[in-house]
Structure 1
Amino acid sequence: MIVENILIFSASIGNGHNQAAKALSEEFEKRGYQCEIIDTFKFINPAFHKMILEGYLKILKYCPSVWRKLYSHTEERPWYMIMDQFGTMLCDKLYSKIKESRCISLISVHPFSTAILSKMKSKKNVHIPLYSVITDFVLHPAYFRNEVDGYFTASDQLDYYSSRYNVPLSKIHSTGIPIRSIPSAMKSKLTLKHELNLDAEKKTILITGGAIDLTKFTKVLKALNTLESNLQIVCITGHNKKATKKIKQSDCKHETVSIGFTNRFTDYLRASDVIISKAGGLTMSESLVCETPILIYQPVPGHEEHNSQYLLKYGAALIAEVYKDIPVVLEQFLSNESYYEEIIQNIKKIQKPNAAKEIIDKIINI
């Protein structure tokens, strides 16, 4: 039996892209395909990867307005095409890998990977199909390249993107953002609270900052002190030991649990009554599947702000612009049961738990 190979290209700039790659890989392997996930920049040059990641994080931490302007300007002016020039210099190593693997399809879950792979296809005259899986709820023009054979998105505005960016409608598919299976989504919140040793009598608030830890946990906890409700707060800090230490030293009046890196994130997410988070595409998609209302706080400028607008448009989330707004907005979730249930119903309308399966189905059919 010949096993057909698929290469999935990601980038460790945040964890969402890697999680999407794993979701696709698992689904392909269920169908008998062999998959390899390639962390694009690390594979090409670890030092270059470190430079890209550190530069990105410093801009977000110290000059977020610069990133916002860069993102918005590139929607109108193709400055992002500079990545294609990097692609010209970096594609040889990827080309050797692709030849060696004898793969039948290339899949990219990051726009930088897409740019480099597109340039490689053009420069090396490669005819292997290339598919772009978009891990946000909106499409930036940086995603579109002539060499891409298909796009998979959570957006339902396919006609708009097709006409605006002159992309054949047949190439764009509304599937959702691929996430890994969440078995706990079938369990009740009460059951999961018992399993996780959480107080079933208290409202549970989950706070997370994503893999790049941009959430200021102690500032959020301080804001929550103004709430009269007796809450239970779970902070997922990942590998951020400094945040864990500060949380333990905080004077939050509510019962607070700090969790480092865990494989049970979606269990905590499903058990929670509300999640306070920035607006990463994967975390938001998992929240929708877990039917946990979202309070968005400090989304990353650009793509996450667009994710926020998408979720707000469909009534699946609320947003706190500054930390002092957090308790005011949170009270809307906690004090009005009919409003809370309305949000749950809105979430059900846009959740897409089978996105990975749909994407694989379409790629196989293509």
Structure 2
Amino acid sequence: MSITIFSASIGNGHNEASHALKEQFELQGETVDVVDTFQCIHPLLHKLFLDSYLHILKRTPNLWGKMYKYGADYSWFLLMDYLGACFCEKLQTILTEQRTTIMVSTHPFVTAFLSKLKTKKNLQLPLYTIITDLGLHPAYFRSEVNGYFTASPYFSEFAEEYNIPSEQFFCTGIPIKQVPDVSLPRRSLRVKLALKPEKKTLLITGGGLGIGKFVEIVQSLEEIDEEIQILCLTGRNEGMEKKLRKMCSKHTLHIIPFTKQFTEYLRASDVILSKAGGLTMSEALACETPILIYQPVPGHEEENAQFLIETGTAVKAETLPHVNRLLYQLFNDEHYYNYFIHNAKKIKKPNAARRIAELIKDLEATTEQSYDPQSLA
């Protein structure tokens, strides 16, 4: 098999899921390429999507939430199919050059583009979609898709509501890279990372893009009497990194830009304070680090937050004083703290990437039709 995973650099989660899956396919002996789809089609298309998304989140986040909810009833997202029709030649060239026999998508807009490609070019290549949120939304679904991999256990109800064959769903979890051994004490990882091992440790993150009110949160944490250790993982947000480096605090502050050691910092922390991105939440569950959610992105992240709250793996703060109260309880109430760890153990899926790779190979092995990459020429 020659597998092409189509990702999108709109947030870091889609890329992280793609590379976790690539790693597992390669361990199983397959040839895999990851394509940053919109960037590969044209840098200006990528910039349009990324800048528009960031502008909405910074200026009018509730608009995104309304668009997300509106899309469940009125399929505005099908506009992506029409846009995708403009780029079929470029996408087909990619498939031909890479002799692709299997397509995998990790972003709903990319799925729309590839679905239109299959229809317009009458391609028989299988297309699989990785859903990188904890909930389900019709934007991911097209009749051209052969299978969906999700973290949601509620796929049967969703499939019935939207008239999708339930056998196309596989509850695997979201693909993440290998996390540190959870049997190792958090303090031992702090030593390895040159952190203070004895300090209670809070990790604050806004995903790969570093979205969030880091400064306001750190200022609010000054109200906590006990001195703690705060890890601010700012992703690729250089402006936020500079602001935080100018701050003074009674707490021990570590400002950490984008790092490949994210899960090590996550496992080394007692609590993660974050919005509710699907990849970050899946990694937190795998690391058995209790989750404190603050200001999730309206729409998909709000649904992620609701799922985590319902499963007893996270708690949500509505205000900064509420953040402080919940954090105090997590740090000082052992029974309360262990409640979240216990529930994370029950629902975490650290081996999702391996499971998805195995399932796709099994599905293709049982498919009678053979795919000839030369037919793309």
TM over 0.5: yes
| Aligned-pair CA distance for 1:322 | 2.3
Write out per-residue CA displacement over residues 206-241 of structure 1, whole angstroms, 9 at most, x where no aligned residue: 111112221111100111111112211111123323
Is the Cα contact below 8 Å between 1:184 and 1:266 reproduced in 2?
Answer: no
Opposite residue 146 of structure 1, the aligned amino acid is S
Match of 1:234 among 221, 231, 235: 231
Pair 1:287-2:303 in alignment: no
- Structure 1, 323-332 or 69-78: larger mean CA deviation: 323-332
Aligned residue in 1 for 2:191: 194
Match of 1:363 among 360, 363, 373: 360
Count of aligned pairs: 363
Is the Cα contact below 8 Å between 2:180 and 2:287 reproduced in 1?
Answer: no
Aligned residue in 1 for 2:322: 325
Is the Cα contact below 8 Å between 2:117 and 2:123 reproduced in 1?
Answer: yes
Match of 1:44 among 41, 45, 53: 41
Write out per-residue CA displacement over residues 169-212 of structure 1, whole angstroms, 9 at most, x where no aligned residue: 11000000000112344422011011112222210001111122
Write out per-residue CA displacement over residues 51-71 of structure 1, whole angstroms, 9 at most, x where no aligned residue: 111011001000111111111
| Aligned-pair CA distance for 1:99 | 2.5
- In structure 2, how many angstroms separate the alpha carbons of the residues matched to 1:201 and 1:213? 27
Opposite residue 331 of structure 1, the aligned amino acid is Y
TM-score (structure 1 length as normaliser): 0.97
Structure-2 change in CA distance of 1:169 and 1:91 (3 Å): same
| Aligned-pair CA distance for 1:248 | 2.5
TM-score (structure 2 length as normaliser): 0.94
Write out per-residue CA displacement over residues 285-309 of structure 1, whole angstroms, 9 at most, x where no aligned residue: 1111111011111111111110000
Opposite residue 28 of structure 2, the aligned amino acid is R
Q: Which runs of 5+ in 2 are unaligned?
A: 364-377
| Aligned-pair CA distance for 1:251 | 3.2
- In structure 1, how many angstroms separate the alpha carbons of the residues matched to 2:163 and 2:128? 17
Match of 2:16 among 5, 16, 19: 19
- In structure 2, how many angstroms separate the alpha carbons of the residues matched to 1:194 and 1:147? 50
Match of 1:225 among 219, 222, 227: 222
- In structure 2, how many angstroms separate the alpha carbons of the residues matched to 1:356 and 1:113? 19
Match of 2:168 among 160, 171, 189: 171
Percent sequence identity over aligned pairs:
49
| Aligned-pair CA distance for 1:356 | 0.5
Opposite residue 242 of structure 1, the aligned amino acid is G
Opposite residue 329 of structure 1, the aligned amino acid is L
Task: Say what the alpha-carbon RMSD is for the aligned residues.
Answer: 1.1
Write out per-residue CA displacement over residues 32-91 of structure 1, whole angstroms, 9 at most, x where no aligned residue: 111000111011111111011101100100011111111110011111100010011112
Superposed structure 1 runs of 4+ greater than 3 Å apart: 183-186
Is the Cα contact below 8 Å between 2:4 and 2:100 reproduced in 1?
Answer: yes
- In structure 1, how many angstroms separate the alpha carbons of the residues matched to 2:245 and 2:118? 51
Structure-2 change in CA distance of 1:100 and 1:272 (3 Å): same
Is the Cα contact below 8 Å between 2:209 and 2:235 reproduced in 1?
Answer: no
- In structure 2, how many angstroms separate the alpha carbons of the residues matched to 1:233 and 1:79? 41
Pair 1:255-2:243 in alignment: no
Is the Cα contact below 8 Å between 2:209 and 2:234 reproduced in 1?
Answer: no
| Aligned-pair CA distance for 1:257 | 1.1
